[in-house]
Structures are given as C-alpha cells and as structure tokens.
Structure 1
C-alpha cells in the first residue's frame, strides 16, 4: 500500500542512465544532469528558486510536505542576476552513463554552407582585449589575472537536436559533467564541464579547480609534449596557483582537515589538457550545504580573475556581450545539504535557430594574445564536434 508521503515523493524509480537521456526533451521545466557518480532527469516545476540563498528554506519546506526534494539548474556569472533554479515535481535517478552507451548518433555532418557563423568579438577584437589587459597588469601588479571570453554564434535553419548533442558530448567526455538546463524563455544551456566546483556528501567536501590549459593533438608524441610543457609552464603554474589559493581561502572557514596538494596534476578531455588540483576537507558545520559552499567559492579566479572585483569590472569593460549563465554554476543539491555543483564551462546556449558557444582564457601579465585566442578556439571544438563542425574562428 502506498502512503500519502510516498505518493507525494518526487523521486521516481531508478532506471538506466541512457534511458534518462533517451527520454529527455528540452523545456523550461526539464533538466538533465550527468556526472561520474550519477545521472538525473528532473521534470516539472514544483517551485522556482530565483534566489540561491533561499534554496535551503524552500527545500526544507518541500521536505515538510513529505517530499524528497532537490534543487537543480544554473546560477549566472554576475551577482544580482536571477538564477535558473527550481525544485522539480519529479526526479528520475540512475547510475552514471558510460562511454558508448548513449546510443547517440555520430556528429551530424551538416554542410558548412548551412551554418552562419558570427564571432563576438571578432578574432582581432579579442586579441586587442587581451593585449589591453596585459598592459594593465604590467602597469599594476595588484591586478594579477583576468579571464576574457568570446562567443561564436552558429545559426542554422531548424536549430540543433539538443538531446542528440548531449549524447555526443557524453560520448566525447564521459568523465566530465554534462548538462542541459533551462536558460530562460525558450533557451536551453547545454554543456560538458570538466571542472567540479564543489561536491558535498555528508561531511566530505571536494573541489577540483582547473586552470592552465593546452590544446590536445591527434599525434600521440606531440600530445604528450604539449602536456609536459603545460606541466612546467611558469605562466600556467602561476595562473593555477591563483585559483587553488582562492579555493583554499574560501573553504578554510568551513572545513577541518583541508588537504591541498603542493603541485597540480594533469587531466585531459577530448580537446584539452588542464592543470588540476583536488582539494578535500571535512565540513565543520553540517548545516552548511553544498550550495552554500559553491556560492562561497563562486566566482573562482579560473573564470573571473584576481582580485575578483577588479577582474569582474574589467570583464564588463572588455567583453562586448553578457555572459549570462556562462562561467556560473550548474548542478543539484538536496534537502540534507548534499550536492554537486560544477563550473559552467564548455557550454552553449541553444534557442531556436541559434547556438551561441562560449570560451575563455586566463590572461596574466605574461600572456600572448595570439596564444589566448588559440586556446579559446581549441575550447570551442568540444561543441563544434557535437554539431559536426571542427574549425573555430
């Protein structure tokens, strides 16, 4: 016999993760999240959560109704903007999806002529912005880093098949964090982020900042050379150290037994090598949720710069577009405080015929504009591959 509490529970019977992807359809009331430990499909809006600070209270209220609630969705880069978070009516849960199990078709080889491309800013404009930032940092050592992004707008009649794109992203980088969540109006934010901002399970806390990158090569010898060069690059090691130090300082008031490795390791995605540090700790106050910690960390120097306020101001001056949800936070959290939140990277906003790609690079005083432009082009390839295009501008 089903109790009233069970009837109101929004948690559906677990199924295979690939089944969840097969049943996902974009919409303002649906979200798909896949990571190394689980797959989630959220359906229906029990309650919107435009202010992340209210998530804990609203989750507690939903649990008091006899639910087992989650909050899912995305938080923007800029403070004060409304979040795209909601408590779903129903959540389907499954094991992680392994490579090759999505039944996703290969990249659709749409004719190049069917796509209209518009880089914002144009490549020369991006190089000029990087050069200006470098001049400012060389004149003022207190401004240590700024992350500058650009977009690539792809337009094709009929738009893109979002579920198929998600499947290709999963197959390409199965160990990352793949997502498709509402982005406001009819838009969907789709991505495959390599960077875990914060996970909490019980009192165990993990953050995995990435900073310092190099494009992969199809030649194994050259690929290894690039990885080794990245691992000893003074510029990239310094950029990485800014981020790790910021994570340490943000988590220290909340965690005991904080473990921060002395040197980064290398991780790889299909398109990029990254310097990576896994920071772990034990939560001091069990009432501090994963989302609380994610908000304390956001934005890290990996997506903004340092010092944060000055870097954010410079981004507003030099970037000719609104980042929206890009370089924000996307993920889930439950009423007990557990959750998994990742940095919104390697992503695009799909809305009708338009697919708007985002990519950025960390700029420090030693940066070379042409190199940062090439890094963003390499990062675009994650999505270009998913729609059957390989070359960025």
Structure 2
C-alpha cells in the first residue's frame, strides 16, 4: 500500500479530492473509527470471493463487506440472494482531519423521496406475535431479531449520494463505533456496484496483539422528542425485559468466545452507549486467541444482537418470518490490517493481520436504479410487546433516516443530557453484575493440565477430575462450548461434537448430552431420537452420563416424569432453586419442563426408568435435576453467565456420575 503525500502544489488532501471528483468507477471507503479525530480514505482494487477463508491477505490491508448469506459457511439456513462477499484490497490511503473532511464533503444530503417501510406496522406487529407464540412459545429459542426496511429512491449518482450521507452522519449522529461510506463497483460491470453508508454503534469482533474482543449491545432506551432524562434512563435500566435481553446476547457471544479463546473470555462492563436518538446497554468480552482472523470471523457469524439465539435455529426462524433476503444487514465490515504484533500463524500467510469488524446496522444502501433501503430489526423475547417492537424498529432507523433527510430531523432538545453522568446511572449499571457468575467476570489464566493440554485457571476443584475425558454432544446450541470450557477448568480433557457426527458414545469417561431448541417429546425430531437412543445406550452400559436442559427433559421423560410446556417460557431467567438438596442460583433457558409427580418405575420398559432416579424440583414443581447411579441431569444452564453457582453444581454432578469423592465444602458456592 502507498500513502498519498501532498506535493507542494497539490490540494491538501489529494486522495479525498479524487474520491469526491470521481465518476463512480473509483472504489473507495471513508471511515471514521471509534469516534476518532480523523477520516481514513481508502482506495484500491475490488475482488469478490466465495468464502471468508478466501479473503486475500497477502500483505495489503483489505476491507471486506460480508453479507448475511455467508452464514451458509456454518451450515445455517438463509434466504440466499447471491450478495457477494466483496473485498477492497487497499493500494492507497490517506488520513484527513475530521474538520477538513466535513468541510470538503457535500454540505447537504442529496434529494431522495421517502416511500415508507416495506413491511407495514400492523403486519410487523403480527410477525412479532407469531414469533413469540410459535417460536419462543414452542421452544425454538430465547430471542430472535426480525428485520424490516425503510425504502426510498433517488436520482442522484453514487458518489455525491454516499459522500453527502457520510457527512450528514458525521454531523448528526453521536456514539458510533464506525461511521463509514463504501463504494465498491466491479470493473466493467457498473450495475454490480455495492454502495452503503452508515453509523453503526456495535463492534462485532476485533483482534489485535492476540486479544479478541466482542461487544454485545442490547436493550434500547428510545429518547423522547424533548430529549433523554435521568428518570427515563433509570426506568430503562430497571426494566426486566431490557435486562434479560442483554444477558441473553452476552450468553450467546460468550459461546463464541469460548470457541475462539482457550481462556474462554471474560466479561467487562456493563456500559451505557448514548447516541442521538437512542441509548443502549453493552458489555465488552475479551480473551486471547491465535486463530486466523478469517476463521475467527467464520466461527462468530453472526452476532446474536442481530439474529437471535441459539444461533443456528435463529437463522431458520429468520428465514421463516422475514419477507425478503437480508443482503448485508446483520453482516459486517471487516478491516484486515498487517499487524507486526499479532501472533504468527501459518494460516495467515506472509503477514499476520489485526482485525476490526463492526456490525452492519444503522446503514443505508444505494441499489441499482436509485432504490434506497435502511433496514432495522427488533429483538423479540418472551416479554416483547408487538407495538413496542414496531416503535423500536422505527427508532433504530430514524437516526440514519433523519441524518439523510428522509424523515424530519426535528429541532432536537435545547441541551443534551449526558446520561452516564446522571446520579444513580453508574450504580444501576454495576448492579446488573450482581446477577453474573464470577467465573466469567474474573480473568482466567491458562496453565498446562495433567494431560499436557491447556487448562484455564486451574482451581482446587481440578485435581480430582484430571486425566478423565469427556464428550459433549451439541444439539444445535453452542452453550456446549461454554460447558466444555468449564469441564476443562475442572481438569478434564474435552471435545465437542455435533449430534449428527457422533460415532461412539461409550468410549469417553463422561458423556454430556447437551442442550438445544425444540420439543423434547417429539421423537420424530432426529435430535430428540438421538438423545433418547444415546441416553439408553449409555445407561444400559453402566457408563457415566450427564444431561443438560433439552437432554435433561428427554431423560426425565424416559424416567417416567411427564414433560409439558411451561405456562411462561423461562428464557434468560435466573432462579434460585433446589438442585438436589442445595439452593443454587442458575440461569434457565427452557420452554418445557418435567413435572414432579409420583412415578411408577415399572410403567416404562427402558433402562433409565429402572434406575428410579432421585428428583429435585423448584417451587412450581418443575424438575431442576435428577440423580442416580452413574447418571445426573440438570434443567438449568450451569455454564450460563447467569449461573453464579454453576461451576460448583457442575463439579458436584460430574463427581457424582464418575464416582469421584465430593469436594470439600467451600465457604461460598460462588467463590470458585
């Protein structure tokens, strides 16, 4: 890459001037990152690739625009619109002071005719109701994001359109992680241009000096027209729905961090991100990794804040309920830059790269023929009110639409209140951490295990289980990566395998049948049939078995306990309940539950029923756990960030099924 230098007789910022004067054939990107004092101007060559692993990292910086359809790389269901994974291989760059850039850019957005949302309010509210009733209410997952798009049209050319949008967003939006404009035409194919501009609040993933960081943002305070207030933000911070929404996405992104980082990652925060028309709550997740940044991106497609959880089924739900393909909405920009400080890896080619990848939300797209679209989505959870979610999509789109002149900007409040400085806000944010497991909040260092592998922060619990191996079966919910991380912390050697790729369930010392979406009574579901078959095979052989959530429900059904849908789903709920004689604070993600009743052990002719498992239940009579010789199961997610007592309970259940003596009592279950 060459950096433009100013000749004595040249304009102050020659590369920016070339961009502004171009006829649309010059590829470019304009970036203001992290609220910085400069605008980066990038130009180069446009290359389309099929897979993230094909992004050309040969020593030059690369800006990739990654569409939602790349979720196919993980085997997920998408409506495939053919949107290309387009790369700008950077050959020239320039840094321009922010004030100079604003002065040079077109002063007003180009004229555009607003047309309204492609999915009307009433229709979108109906989609919300169906997702709550038919998906969350039937065990498909904890939360889902459904998109709709505001449409407009313009006769203006791409360069003045994008550069005027970029200036408007620089001027009128605050709190953005990136503000950007990208124009990526294909040489000789002007109708295949990719043109977009936005002000996204959310980092997806960064990698620098071996440190991976993710930044889940969820929960939305819609500022009133008169401006945000201390009372309004405190009400927002106290709202149960907004609280649970954030914890769900933190759990989902911690699954990804556990796949990326040997230390599993840790949680920092929470913080309040204030923007022009909205404020959000957020956490920062960080850990160390040596993965190629392209592989790290593949493993984290896509953020649960714009898809839902569990991730694989969220993609299926999106395909069922959205009216059109997503294009680039919920994808990401990914800037790969040569980084001499990054850990070397053979997979990175001749140069190691750092990565900065923001999520593509709060973004306007200029399509062929002058069509403009601004997509937005709302996170739907069990507490969602359809009319509120309609309003949320309007509010999320409004910041971009107002900046672009597509809806009235309004006069705005006379003064802007700094919400983070208001009395009580810091305390309300800190109070959220009282619900979190200390295990995921404190740093975890990596040390060698007895088997020679990596063991994270080995505690007093680790010795008794060292040298044992475990197979964790993934039933389409990556909570299994967090379970595996905790079992490694306890000293075990662990591998995770997808349910349809498991060959031998008898060989490992411990089989963990993991969680997943769905109805545990549905034996026509091949996952449920597999759980049933493997549980019986393992019990018949007298081999240690632990079952979690969905698998616990299947095991309970085999033991003769009736399994029914709960009156209200417990998705992202933290409860303190009896777990086999101990009151434990654990996070729950279940729509179904086994009921505590008198069981006739002879009623079912299977090896699980003949064990006469010992149950425990919560105050509503829903089973929290089962225990018998070499067998245990638990309804809650011991690995969840909500499970303050999760590691202690996991250790106790694992020792029980393996026949290892119980650990000495600790002064506090939360101390481990």
Instruction: Answer yes or no: same fold by TM over 0.5.
Output: yes
Residue in structure 2 matched with residue 73 of structure 1 by the alignment: 64
Give the distance between the partners of 2:252 and 2:242, measured in 1 at CA.
Answer: 16
Residue in structure 1 matched with residue 283 of structure 2 by the alignment: 277
**Cα deviation code 1:343-373 (max 9, x no counterpart):** 1000121134221111111001110111011
The answer on whether the counterparts of 2:273 and 2:281 sit within 8 Å (CA) in structure 1 is yes
Residue in structure 1 matched with residue 297 of structure 2 by the alignment: 294
Residue in structure 1 matched with residue 333 of structure 2 by the alignment: 330
Residue in structure 1 matched with residue 197 of structure 2 by the alignment: 190
Deviates more, 1:307-316 or 1:39-48: 39-48
Q: What secondary structure does 2:327 align onto? A: coil
Give the distance between the partners of 1:118 and 1:340, measured in 2 at CA.
Answer: 33
Residue in structure 1 matched with residue 220 of structure 2 by the alignment: 213
Give the distance between the partners of 2:305 and 2:222, measured in 1 at CA.
Answer: 17
The answer on whether the counterparts of 1:272 and 1:379 sit within 8 Å (CA) in structure 2 is yes
Deviates more, 1:120-129 or 1:132-141: 132-141
Asked if residue 135 in structure 1 is aligned to residue 133 in structure 2, the reply is: yes
Distance 1:274 1:147, change over 3 A: same
Residue in structure 2 matched with residue 44 of structure 1 by the alignment: 44
Residue in structure 1 matched with residue 313 of structure 2 by the alignment: 310
Q: 1:249 aligns with which of 255, 267, 270?
A: 255
Distance 1:235 1:83, change over 3 A: same
Q: What secondary structure does 1:302 align onto? A: helix
**Cα deviation code 1:96-119 (max 9, x no counterpart):** x65796225655595xxx724042
Q: 2:31 aligns with which of 33, 41, 46?
A: 33
How far the C-alpha of 1:87 sits from its partner, in A, is: 4.6
Distance 1:303 1:54, change over 3 A: same
**Cα deviation code 1:98-148 (max 9, x no counterpart):** 5796225655595xxx72404211111111111111112453245211101
Residue in structure 1 matched with residue 89 of structure 2 by the alignment: 88
Asked if residue 374 in structure 1 is aligned to residue 391 in structure 2, the reply is: yes
How far the C-alpha of 1:322 sits from its partner, in A, is: 1.3
Q: What secondary structure does 1:86 align onto? A: strand
Asked if residue 24 in structure 1 is aligned to residue 19 in structure 2, the reply is: yes
Distance 1:290 1:164, change over 3 A: same
How far the C-alpha of 1:303 sits from its partner, in A, is: 0.6
Q: What secondary structure does 1:267 align onto? A: strand
Give the distance between the partners of 1:374 and 1:91, measured in 2 at CA.
Answer: 43
Residue in structure 2 matched with residue 120 of structure 1 by the alignment: 118
**Cα deviation code 1:237-264 (max 9, x no counterpart):** 1111121112212112433373203x63
How far the C-alpha of 1:196 sits from its partner, in A, is: 0.4
Q: What secondary structure does 1:277 align onto? A: strand
Return the TM-score normalized by structure 1.
0.83
Return the TM-score normalized by structure 2.
0.50
Distance 1:154 1:200, change over 3 A: same
Give the distance between the partners of 1:17 and 1:297, measured in 2 at CA.
Answer: 41
Runs of 4+ in 1 over 4 A off after TM superposition: 14-23, 25-28, 97-101, 104-110
The answer on whether the counterparts of 1:52 and 1:85 sit within 8 Å (CA) in structure 2 is no
Deviates more, 1:32-41 or 1:317-326: 32-41
Number of positions where the alignment pairs a residue of Structure 1 with one of Structure 2: 365
**Cα deviation code 1:11-70 (max 9, x no counterpart):** 314789987655535557323332125643332316443421122xx31xx33xxxxx01
The answer on whether the counterparts of 1:304 and 1:312 sit within 8 Å (CA) in structure 2 is yes
Give the distance between the partners of 2:358 and 2:66, measured in 1 at CA.
Answer: 10
Residue in structure 1 matched with residue 443 of structure 2 by the alignment: none
Asked if residue 223 in structure 1 is aligned to residue 229 in structure 2, the reply is: yes
The answer on whether the counterparts of 1:21 and 1:163 sit within 8 Å (CA) in structure 2 is no
In structure 2, runs of 5+ residues without a counterpart are 73-81, 186-191, 338-350, 410-672
Give the distance between the partners of 2:214 and 2:166, measured in 1 at CA.
Answer: 24
Q: Specify the structure having the higher radius of gyration (Cα).
A: 2
Deviates more, 1:38-47 or 1:193-202: 38-47
Deviates more, 1:306-315 or 1:181-190: 181-190
The answer on whether the counterparts of 2:48 and 2:86 sit within 8 Å (CA) in structure 1 is yes
Indicate the structure whose relative CO is greater, using CA pairs within 8 Å and at least 6 residues apart: 1
Asked if residue 235 in structure 1 is aligned to residue 241 in structure 2, the reply is: yes
Distance 1:254 1:353, change over 3 A: closer
Distance 1:289 1:361, change over 3 A: same
Give runs of aligned pairs for residues 138-217 of structure 1, distance below 5 A. 138-158=136-156, 161-173=161-173, 175-176=175-176, 177-182=178-183, 185-217=192-224
**Cα deviation code 1:249-287 (max 9, x no counterpart):** 2112433373203x632111112111110112233x2xx
In structure 1, runs of 5+ residues without a counterpart are 1-9, 64-68
Residue in structure 2 matched with residue 384 of structure 1 by the alignment: 401
The answer on whether the counterparts of 1:198 and 1:294 sit within 8 Å (CA) in structure 2 is yes
The answer on whether the counterparts of 2:144 and 2:318 sit within 8 Å (CA) in structure 1 is yes
The answer on whether the counterparts of 2:174 and 2:276 sit within 8 Å (CA) in structure 1 is no
